[in-house]
Structure 1
Amino acid sequence: MHSRSQPSAAGVVLSVGSINADFQFRVERRPEISETLVGHDFVRLGGGKAANVALLAARLGRVARLFGHVGDDELAEQALAPLRSEGVDLAGVRRVPGQATGVAMITVPPDGAKGIVLSLNANDAVWNEADRETLSHAIAAAPAHSVLVADGEMDADGLQLALSKARAAGIRTVLDPSPAERIDDRALALADYVVPNPGEAGRLTDVEVEGVDSAIAAGRRLLARGAGAACMKLSDGGCVLVRGEGVTCIEPLGVEVVDTTGAGDAFAGGLAVGLARGETEADALRLAVAASQCAVTGYGSQPAYPRWDALVALARRLTLGPHVER
């Protein structure tokens, strides 16, 4: 793994999907049915899967380009301002007339296991010709080692366009299969890496993922549905990579979990950054796991994302687990 912040390869990260305004607060416990529960520590933040990936990539020194939709309302600035300040290229973000910006209402209990209610709003807008041309041009112009990351919190035709254009251009693709109900075999077949959490893996494969063995079984079902490789995120923060050549496990470190919001997005972003830098697949996986572990140690997704030196320091402490098939 390269220790210098200067990249070894010039790949860019193209991030396609949801852009949100997050409204987040802490709760002492999860509410009962019909109960009004008082929260505290309210914050307004930028969020959304694609936005989080792009912000992390830029913070880690990559050229990051974001593609998606916001509304023509005041919440658009809440969603875009952190990205702009981090240097994310927003030329591929369109304000949709008459639509609200995507909104996530997030509750964080003491164990950090967040709950989210999401309204996609403008994220679900149909991709028009200008959207398609902007993305197609960016893909065509992307240098070697570039990576496209996409999620399901967007128009289905736009997702298919992004994945198919990237595949045709020889750009590696990372698919965050959320919501799982929106992901079909067409999308999986265009994913070089699919990165489900245990719940998403279960909905996609009918395998309840509770540990390494069940993650391997679910991953093999995703390969059978067309995915190139399955990065199975585990509830303890680790990862199992399943591909045709075998299985690789990255064991997590023990970190204090403050807030799990955005940890999965950090995983996808860390993986993309590693691949775009020209790291080995094993080192890219270490960066992915390290990014997700950094993300859970702070309150809010984007504020908790690390910079390069901190990420590498944690990634170097991660090792392959005992369940490696060679």
Structure 2
Amino acid sequence: MHHANILVIGSLNMDLVVRAPRLPLPGETLSGEQFATVPGGKGANQAVAAARLGAQVAMLGCLGDDAYSTQLRAGLDAEGIDHSGVASLPGRASGVALIVVGADSQNAIVVVAGSNAELDAAHLARFDAALQAADIVICQLEVPLATVGIALQRAHALGKTVILNPAPATGPLPPEWLACIDYLIPNESEAAALSGLPVSSQAEAGLAAQHLLGTGVRRVLVTLGAAGVLHATPADLQHFPAQAVQAVDTTAAGDTFVGGFAAALAQGLNEAEAIRFGQAAAALSVTRAGAQPSIPHLAEVQARLAASR
């Protein structure tokens, strides 16, 4: 693997996307308007975002041996992402996500892990040199939790900057993970699941973030969609308002923020600058349809930031 300053350990999915007038009710059959297959998976989305936004990126993960696998690998290749650490598993299906997007840009998603469920400790050990070479390591929760835990602890032991996007979150994180995380980046529902507290306002997000800091995480960034980002450290709580845009599709907005934030940190920007950079990237992404197709390139984000000064 070449030297990458960001290593993403996580999921690769093919997104099967239907656009419909609205989300269907239980038991209801709706007529959809459009269908597309789009490369996705939180891990791959974050890797693509970081690569498009200026970072050297490598990825560890698992694909199946199907047509989706070929397409997903070609997508990484096109972005200049080192995918030598992405295995193709014989006899397995690649991960898929079934996504319905309503006219109001809200979405409902069902994810089938497929080959993502096979990412194990042995695979991490085989590519330990990639962990050693990286400056920043990013994980999510769409691969086995045991593997995520090992990755977080190994990256922390190596002195790397460790980012965890705890998605999807169903409850509190394992206690042994907490001190390994430099940046925990949940959205509102994930912050609520992790903290056990309601998160329906900026004030409640602040309380949940303070609770999470109390568990041993170093910094918490709660992404609040159109309400911006809340950055919490043990000493400070700062709100970064979102940039106003006309949202078309919010798929991968969070992943674009994570990848953009990490890319900015890797380029030496400070936390506040990196948050604003990630926000500008995410703002552009929601104005476009799809997961990876919506992720902007570095020049677009730089132009948006320059225009907003």
Please, what TM-score do these two structures have when normalized by structure 2? 0.94
The alpha-carbon deviation at position 157 of structure 1 amounts to: 2.1
Tell me which stretches of 4 or more aligned residues in structure 1 moved more than 6 Å: none
SS at match of 2:54: coil
The alpha-carbon deviation at position 56 of structure 1 amounts to: 1.3
Aligned to 2:46: 53
C-alpha separation between the residues in 1 aligned to 2:119 and 2:81?
23
The alpha-carbon deviation at position 316 of structure 1 amounts to: 5.0
The alpha-carbon deviation at position 184 of structure 1 amounts to: 2.3
C-alpha separation between the residues in 2 aligned to 1:31 and 1:313?
38
Q: More deviation in 267-276 or 76-85?
A: 76-85
C-alpha separation between the residues in 2 aligned to 1:313 and 1:162?
35
Aligned to 2:156: 167
Q: More deviation in 205-214 or 264-273?
A: 205-214
The answer to whether the 8 A contact 2:62-2:119 is kept is no
Aligned to 1:196: 186
C-alpha separation between the residues in 2 aligned to 1:281 and 1:149?
16
1:140 lines up with 2:129 in the alignment: no
The answer to whether the 8 A contact 1:54-1:88 is kept is yes
Aligned to 1:260: 250
SS at match of 2:200: coil
For 2:168, the aligned partner's letter is P
* Cα distance change on mapping 1:190 and 1:316 into 2, 3 Å: farther
- What is the correspondence of 1:276-291 to structure 2 with a 5 Å cutoff? 276-291=266-281
- What is the correspondence of 1:28-43 to structure 2 with a 5 Å cutoff? 28-43=21-36
For 1:282, the aligned partner's letter is A
SS at match of 1:180: coil
For 1:116, the aligned partner's letter is I
1:93 lines up with 2:86 in the alignment: yes
C-alpha separation between the residues in 2 aligned to 1:149 and 1:312?
23
Residue identity (%):
35
Q: More deviation in 180-189 or 68-77?
A: 180-189
Q: Deviations over 1:5-29 (max 9, x none)?
A: xxxxx97111011110111010101
Matched positions, count: 306
1:295 lines up with 2:295 in the alignment: no
- What is the correspondence of 1:218-257 to structure 2 with a 5 Å cutoff? 218-257=208-247
SS at match of 1:236: helix
- What is the correspondence of 1:8-47 to structure 2 with a 5 Å cutoff? 12-47=5-40
Q: Deviations over 1:263-297 (max 9, x none)?
A: 11111101110111110111011112112211111
The answer to whether the 8 A contact 1:27-1:110 is kept is yes
Aligned to 1:212: 202
Q: Deviations over 1:39-81 (max 9, x none)?
A: 1221111100110111111112211001111112221123222
* Cα distance change on mapping 1:101 and 1:11 into 2, 3 Å: closer
C-alpha separation between the residues in 1 aligned to 2:124 and 2:37?
31
For 1:234, the aligned partner's letter is L
The alpha-carbon deviation at position 229 of structure 1 amounts to: 0.6
The alpha-carbon deviation at position 261 of structure 1 amounts to: 0.5
User: Which residue, 296, 314, 319 being the options, matches 2:304?
Assistant: 314
Q: Which sections of structure 1, spanning at least 5 residues, go unmatched?
A: 1-9, 320-326
For 1:87, the aligned partner's letter is G
Q: Deviations over 1:89-123 (max 9, x none)?
A: 00110112222100001111011111111001111
Aligned to 2:66: 73
Aligned to 2:120: 127
Q: Deviations over 1:198-226 (max 9, x none)?
A: 11111111222222211110101111122
For 1:249, the aligned partner's letter is H
Q: Which sections of structure 2, spanning at least 5 residues, go unmatched?
A: none
SS at match of 1:162: helix
The answer to whether the 8 A contact 2:121-2:150 is kept is no
The alpha-carbon deviation at position 33 of structure 1 amounts to: 1.7
